[in-house]
Amino acid sequence: MLRWVRQQLGFDPPHQSDTRTIYIANRFPQHGHYVPQKFADNRIISSKYTVWNFVPKNLFEQFRRVANFYFLIIFLVQLMIDTPTSPITSGLPLFFVITVTAIKQGYEDWLRHKADNEVNGAPVYVVRSGGLVKTRSKNIRVGDIVRVAKDETFPVDLVLLSSDRVDGSCHVTTASLDGETNLKTHVAVPETAVLQSVANLDKLVAVIECQQPEADLYRFVGRITVSQQAEEIVRPLGPESLLLRGARLKNTKEIFGVAVYTGMETKMALNYKSKSQKRSAVEKSMNSFLIIYLIILLFEAILSTILKYAWQAEEKWDEPWYNEKTEHERNSSKILRFISDFLAFLVLYNFIIPISLYVTVEMQKFLGSFFIGWDLDLYHEETNQRAQVNTSDLNEELGQVEYVFTDKTGTLTENEMQFRECSINGIKYQEVNGKLTPEGFSEDSPDGNRHGLVKEEELFLKAVCLCHTVQINADQTDGADGPWHANGITSPLEYYASSPDEKALVEAASRVGVVFTGISGDSMEVKSLGKPERYKLLHVLEFDPNRRRMSVIVESPSGEKLLFTKGAESSILPRSKSGEIDKTRIHVDEFALKGLRTLCVAYRRFTPEEYQEVGKRLQEARTALQQREERLADVFNFIERDLELLGATGVEDKLQEKVQETIEALRLAGIKVWVLTGDKHETAVSVSLSCGHFHRTMNILELVQHKSDSTCAEQLRQLAKRIKEDHVIQHGLVVDGTSLSLALREHEKLFMEVCKNCSAVLCCRMAPLQKAKVVRLLKTSPEKPITLAIGDGANDVSMIQEAHVGIGIMGKEGRQAVRNSDYAIARFKFLSKLLFVHGHFYYIRIATLVQYFFYKNVCFITPQFLYQFFCLFSQQTLYDSVYLTLYNICFTSLPVLIYSLFEQHVHPHVLQSKPVLYRDISKNAHLGFKPFLYWTVLGFFHAFVFFYGSYLLMGEDTSLLGNGQILKPNRQMMFGNWTFGTLVFTVMVITVTMKMALETHFWTWINHFVTWGSIVFYFIFSLFYGGIIWPFLHTQDMYFVFVQLLSSGSAWFAIILIVVACLFIDVVKKVLYRHLQPTSTEKAQMYSNRVALSDEFIALQPLSRARNQLSKIRWKKIRVQSAQHVTLLKAGTEGKTIGSC
């Protein structure tokens, strides 16, 4: 029971030995020595809390905040000793803050639970009791045989047992795991591959022994022991047998597999970082400010205590006639009395620490987050997806981003390749209406409308159709004629490719007349202009990153042995001895300049003797037990030589809309962009060039293919030297996963120095946890920059969780990134609006909110401190306890909350069109020491004016009455300590509210309502509170005080004079700075007021905003026809319509 409770609280996760033994279909041995192992269930958990740990864990996180912990201590002190104020004044706001925050965080975690339940409740089919049983994903156990159909994702990590194919193979795509969209082939062991029915699988007796779960996606070590007719057959299991959770089954009707890793032990889940509480830079600044104010509080409390005892050193003040001490008080310890007085002063001044700041910030974040979801500019109509907020705690962090780490596949690109151009025999071709047309020709020109293909073109297209790893949908290869009908018209072929490039090339070839129709046994079938041809596939020379090419050896219908090769131009052109090499090289450079992904195609004819030698060498290398990889590389190099160049291809990886403009805007805003991708080096560089991440004029530095620390360190030193020598030129850095591991192991400082001096960095061949490691490296560097990670697949989850702000793209790679992100958007282009507009607004709003709260609490409590000098430090409170409690909760809370929700100090259109304005708020500029000092000094200044202004204007020429009140002889007005305190409080409420009004640039009816309404509410409340005897109150010191105060003309004069005196200096300072030293933001404010209001400009905002802006220009007449049309009537613009506001 105790172990179960610890597991529910997250303290004792299940742990097993180094290996696990899995009995397929859970057929456990019957002998008594077997002890069953305990495995995790198949639930995926992305939430932070459970029903059991929500209260303790949430309370722990909340009391980590300085203000919450401080008010808890104050509340306990008020309960334990006699203090000037009631415990309710601290306990009620604290309870309110804790409750509201817990509800908000509980709601957000409930949304995560809801998303998890959708995944965990997905229907699956398992083999149990001789039949196929439908159950939920969370009910799968280790050892269950699971059936997965075509296009479904694998619900657990499975070892493949069989498929609908005779050889037990299947094809999967792991795009959501590693970002690669290529098909990967997995195979079952021969003994289980033949078990293609549920009945046969139910009879299977086998045991799998494998390693315990680990995060490496590409490593799996195990073995399967199959019992057949009293004989045990042992087969090794490797990565080719393991189907990973999150991958998708393609080109295969169905497969059966046994669950080996479930739930949070799957490789996909192990590549998630554990979810931790992210805290924004603003919250850290708040905690720093709170500590400073805590020091001020302690100083005031200690000073007051010392001055009290210094004053009481005189005998007449130690025990005056009206306040004689009891016997107990005379005999009590002086140290205890000192501590008690110190704590009493601490309680008296405790409101200098604004507890309601936290609840206001929580409400601002929670309510403000809805604006992101409501923004129609972040709505993607094609997919019907709007932006969503998973964590509202980080809204203001969107305005502080310094580094953006982005995935490539599906984030920058649509992941859709399109054939654009090719070069054949030195001539450039384009595809025009399904025909290859030489450059400079059109269908209207004499040679443009050609029939058929010339010999070189046909050979080039056949090479493209034969040299690949493309698969065809199994459904389309059934029947004698395959996908071809009797009339010769084809049905559309559905290709699955080992890379998007290959798919685009094969599809382009099929459109222009050479169609790959599938593989039958060891033959590849092609139709050239309707004529079927069968090529026998003899050998495949697989692609590898060192050779950067792949080849096939085929036997043509005429019996000729041919080698077809395609690969990067740097690996093909040097090995070519004939063909139009120079012209093709020029064409390849031209394609690259257009941002196209290029491949060169070549071939070689073998004589019978040459082919015999090739076959012999390949067989020896492939059967070698030692140094197999090196021997294969040597044979491949021997075969792929003396090539005849056929041509080159140019394929475009379709970028998402406005990616280039977004990256350029990020650069102008001072944000550095890093691309982290699992793709190949050439692919990643090509996309970086086409999307504007790398410029053509940029000096590209490479740190790739290093195998040792020494070579990596030497290369890093050379790169650092080159950067220093060429400091004028912009540099871009390309680094691969293996080199990165070496660089981070021993040379982290040098690597960071090189990276920081580069304008753009591209990391390719990255594992998911490597992405997170790179983000952490920047995050923990001495400058502590704010990082943002954006991606669309499960391979990006670790990076998204590691960064300060994680953004998921709602793409084609599943929902893992979205579920684990802080924000989710449909397209990369929306990032600019999210940062430059929403991020900018959120930061300005919350920065002003935080500093305004400290300002108004200094204004609130400093008069209390000054009053002690006039009451012999007797701990007499200046304000009534009801005013103490309601000052932050009611009288001054709404104006700043509404400001923090609606303020737009610059027009959104200007912010988005001028990314450079983002620099004005970077590095927490508005919450630095100078702004903080300004607001604090301003608060003390206003407090002194409140107190001494009221004292000088209303406190002179008085005589003390026996009842503690003061009589003005000329007007017989009762003017006591409560009247004086109420006057100070009234001036304070009006001034701090007007100060908020001065800070507001964007006025709506709501702003007007809460600003003037707060002042009116204070007056009405005070009249009712002091004008009626309330039976449930023990004492009512404020009875008729406020009515008497307002009946005095001099009191009204004092209120107006003091308020004007306080705000006048602030207004003068704003005017002078705005005209003498305007910031770029202030210039933009003036620009936004004067900008010509074009149709597009007005259409960006709701009608109310448009009308508000239009009212600032002297139009002769404005006729509002409807919410869709506003007609402007002005000299020269009569009848001009602004459509669709």
Could you tell me the CA-to-CA distances from 95 to 59, 356, 366 in Å, in that order? 11, 11, 19
Q: Which two tokens stand for residue 954?
A: 């209303």
Ordered DSSP codes for 16-39 = --SEEEEEGGG----STT--PPP-
How far apart (Å, rounded) are the C-alpha atoms in residues 265 and 242? 14
Residue 805 three-state SS:
strand
Which of 157, 407, 501, 653 is catalytic? The answer is 407
How far apart (Å, rounded) are the C-alpha atoms in residues 393 and 108? 10
Q: Which two tokens stand for residue 301?
A: 């409390």
Contact partners, residue 175, CB within 8 Å, separation at least 6: 181, 248, 409, 410, 415, 793, 812, 813
Encode burial over 573-601: b for 16+ CB neighbours within 10 A, e otherwise.
bebbeebbbebbbebbebbbeebbbbbbb
How far apart (Å, rounded) are the C-alpha atoms in residues 411 and 413? 6
Q: What is the dihedral of CA 767, 804, 402, 374, to 10 degrees?
A: 110
Could you tell me the CA-to-CA distances from 7 to 42, 50, 116, 269, 343 in Å, in that order? 15, 11, 19, 18, 42
Contact partners, residue 651, CB within 8 Å, separation at least 6: 417, 418, 419, 420, 501, 504, 505, 596, 597, 598, 599
Helices 893-902 + 1005-1027 axis angle, to 10 = 170
How far apart (Å, rounded) are the C-alpha atoms in residues 148 and 244? 12
Type of residue found at 857? N
How far apart (Å, rounded) are the C-alpha atoms in residues 188 and 82? 78
Look at residues 621, 676, 636 and name the one whose alpha carbon lies nearest to residue 546: 636
Look at residues 952, 980, 956, 979 and name the one whose alpha carbon lies nearest to residue 1061: 952
Q: Which two tokens stand for residue 557?
A: 């219908």
Distance of CA 426 to the CA centre of its chain: 47
Query: Is 779:785 a contact under the CB 8 Å cutoff?
Result: yes
How far apart (Å, rounded) are the C-alpha atoms in residues 551 and 540? 6
Cα atoms in the 13 Å half-sphere on the side-chain side of 917: 27
DSSP letter at 755 equals H
Q: Which spans in 868-928 are helix H?
A: 881-886, 893-902, 908-913
Distance of CA 754 to the CA centre of its chain: 26
Contact partners, residue 729, CB within 8 Å, separation at least 6: 697, 698, 699
**DSSP strand pairing (123-128 vs 145-149):** antiparallel
Q: What are phi and psi of 990, to 5 degrees?
A: -65, -45
Instruction: Give yes or no: 1037 in active site.
Output: no
How far apart (Å, rounded) are the C-alpha atoms in residues 1093 and 1110? 8
Query: Is 805:823 a contact under the CB 8 Å cutoff?
Result: yes
Query: Is 177:268 a contact under the CB 8 Å cutoff?
Result: yes
Query: Is 828:809 a contact under the CB 8 Å cutoff?
Result: yes
Look at residues 426, 734, 458, 433 and name the one whose alpha carbon lies nearest to residue 600: 426
How far apart (Å, rounded) are the C-alpha atoms in residues 46 and 342? 47
How far apart (Å, rounded) are the C-alpha atoms in residues 941 and 975? 25
The residues annotated as belonging to the active site are 407
